[in-house]
Structure 1
Amino acid sequence: MLDVLIIGAGPIGLACGIEATKHKLNYLILEKGVLVNSLYHYPDNMTFFSTSEKLEIGGVPFVSNNPKPRKHEALEYYRRVAEKFQLNINFYESVKGIAKGGDHFVVNTSKGIYKTKSLVIATGFYDLPNKLNIPGEELSKVKHYYTDPHPYYRQKVVVIGAQNSAVDAALECWRKGAEVTMIVRGPEIANRVKYWVRPDIENRIEEGSIKAHFNANVTKVEEHSLTFMKDNKEHTIPNDFVLALTGYQPGYDLLKMAGVNISNEKTMRPSYNEANMESNIRQLYLAGVVVGGMETAKWFIENSRIHADLIMNDIMQKIKGESQSNSK
């Protein structure tokens, strides 16, 4: 029987593992992919908005050669953290079922069955893209993730979206020889775009290097074209690839499987106690950006690192309380 099972080996899942180690709890971290799986799937040349010290966990310094760390530096840092604390992690093991069995949880995975007194879900939000739900979205030319600009050299690329990921992809692909068109639902580039990138994309649009259609919506994708609506008119343009970078959402299937309530139907925010991060299910905790539901821009590594302390302190208090009760 485990004291605590942690689902997700992202930065916050690792932080939970570190705190469990410090409290000498019997724990295990399950990860369906690689270490910090979401970060691994970020664009290869991505620069973080946060400075390196705000990405630190476990009191381990994050030394970067840049004012803002790059993806490869973050991967190296979190590998070193996992090694320093010898974190107990099972990789490539996905959760298939969660059931409450009296005073413990039974977790079925692709490789085994585990029993645990406490459960922490720290799965982030990057695994499930927000779909367009339009004809042609299933075509292989439509990508919901972007990693590298090289495949789009001399190609006609439409980038859908106006947040950081879309802007980075548009600029990189254009600089590597793609003909880039942006389709933006709103009237302008998003305000949350990194402050050192926003002037770059606005200048490229203004000079016509990157075409942009604002207040527009893609309605159909075909093998060699794309159709969108703007000003109540239908427009069709030649197209080779579509980068639909329209955001992502938490793994609600896992939350529902565990019995976690959704407290806000608009934001799809799950129920939890801010004081200890415990959900509506006793001893089932939520950590990291998963607590924000669809408000994925509200929580980051830097402001959710504290979740690990809150959770493990509460688990220790419950263990202490049970011990005192049993001794009477």
Structure 2
Amino acid sequence: MLDILIIGGGPIGLACALEAKKAGLSYLIVEKGTLVNSLYNYPAGMTFFSTSEKLEIGGVPFVSNSIKPTRAESLEYYRRVLTSNELNIHLFEAVLHQQRKDDHYEITTTKAVYLAKNIIIATGFYDVPVKMNIPGEELPKVRHYYKDPHFYSLQKVVVVGASNSSVDAALETFRKGAEVTMVIRKDDISDRVKYWVRPDIINRIKEGTIKAYYHSHLTTIRENEVDIQTPEGLIAIPNDFVLALTGYQPDFTFLKTMGITLSADEKLLPEYNAETMETNQKGIYLAGVVCGGMNTHLWFIENSRVHAEQIIAAISKQTAKVSV
């Protein structure tokens, strides 16, 4: 029987494994995708907002070519952390459900059944895109994830949103020859956009090389055009692709399956003890971005690394009580 089953092989899941190993606890990481799956699905040329030392886990130095590391550098760093510490992980194995059995849990995955005294959920928030729920959203031309700009060369591209991911996609596809139109619900580019990028997109919009509709939203997507509701009325423009980068959210269905209580309001905050990170389910803990519910800007790698220490300290204390 395991002391801990860790669900999620991202940076925080790895941090939990490092702390568990340091404490002499038996553990297994189960990840439904590839190693640090969310980071893998980030845009190919992405640069982090955080500096490399703020992305470090387990006291392992993260050395990057620039102060702010790239996606490629982060993938290599977390892989080396995993392999150099010989962490126990199963990739491409999804957790289906759990059942409480006296003093432990029986966890069923797509490949096996495990027994564990404790469960840590570190599943992040990048797996479930926030949908627009409009006609045509199911068309193949609509993408909720953006990977590489070259694919959109010489195409008419609508980018929905004004966050970091939207702005990066708009600028990169524009520079590969796309005709870019941004559709933005508010009156400006988000102030959360990376400070060295924000002036660039604002200037491109001012000069007219990237078109932007503020206080606007898509209403319908068709094969060769889209409808945009603007302050001046409904307009239709020609379109080849829609990058609906409207944000992402934790897998709330999975959290409910695990028996975790969510707040009744739109924030859907999971219930947990801020000191131990234990949820309303005894022996089930939360770590990382998933703790914020729909407030996905609340937790990052740099400020949630400490969750690993909090959780393992709580489990170690509980284990010591049982042993006495």
Q: Which runs of structure 2 are paired with 1:220-235 in the superposition (5 Å)?
A: 220-231=220-231, 233-235=233-235
Name the amino acid aligned to 1:225: E
- Distance in 1 of aligned mates of 2:272 and 2:161: 31
User: Quick check: 1:203 aligned with 2:199?
Assistant: no
Q: Which runs of structure 2 are paired with 1:13-162 in the superposition (5 Å)?
A: 13-162=13-162
User: Quick check: 1:258 aligned with 2:252?
Assistant: no
- Distance in 2 of aligned mates of 1:99 and 1:230: 50
Q: Is the 8 A contact 1:8 1:30 kept in 2?
A: yes
Q: Residue 209 of structure 1 aligns to a residue in which SS?
A: coil
Q: Is the 8 A contact 1:7 1:123 kept in 2?
A: yes
Q: Residue 263 of structure 2 aligns to a residue in which SS?
A: strand
Q: Residue 59 of structure 2 aligns to a residue in which SS?
A: coil
Partner of 1:273: 273
Q: Deviations over 1:169-208 (max 9, x none)?
A: 0000000110000000111100100000000000000000
Name the amino acid aligned to 2:268: M
The Cα shift of 1:264 comes to 5.2
- Larger CA deviation: 44-53 vs 225-234: 225-234
Name the amino acid aligned to 2:221: V
Q: Residue 134 of structure 2 aligns to a residue in which SS?
A: coil
The Cα shift of 1:82 comes to 0.2
Aligned residues: percent identity? 58
- Distance in 2 of aligned mates of 1:280 and 1:85: 32
- Distance in 2 of aligned mates of 1:232 and 1:209: 21
Name the amino acid aligned to 1:200: D
Name the amino acid aligned to 2:198: R
Count of aligned pairs between the two proteins: 324
- Distance in 1 of aligned mates of 2:256 and 2:179: 42
Q: Residue 201 of structure 1 aligns to a residue in which SS?
A: helix
The Cα shift of 1:232 comes to 5.8
Q: TM-score, normalised by structure 2?
A: 0.99
Q: Is the 8 A contact 1:264 1:270 kept in 2?
A: no
The Cα shift of 1:266 comes to 2.5
Q: Residue 53 of structure 2 aligns to a residue in which SS?
A: helix
- Distance in 2 of aligned mates of 1:317 and 1:51: 33
Aligned CA-pair RMSD: 0.7
Q: Is the 8 A contact 1:32 1:91 kept in 2?
A: yes
Q: Residue 191 of structure 2 aligns to a residue in which SS?
A: coil
The 4+ residue runs of structure 1 with deviation greater than 3 A are none
Q: Residue 73 of structure 2 aligns to a residue in which SS?
A: helix
Gaps of 5+ in 1: none
Name the amino acid aligned to 1:277: M
Q: Residue 81 of structure 1 aligns to a residue in which SS?
A: helix
Q: Deviations over 1:152-181 (max 9, x none)?
A: 000000000000000000000000110000
- Distance in 1 of aligned mates of 2:266 and 2:152: 37
- Distance in 1 of aligned mates of 2:175 and 2:232: 32
Partner of 2:171: 171
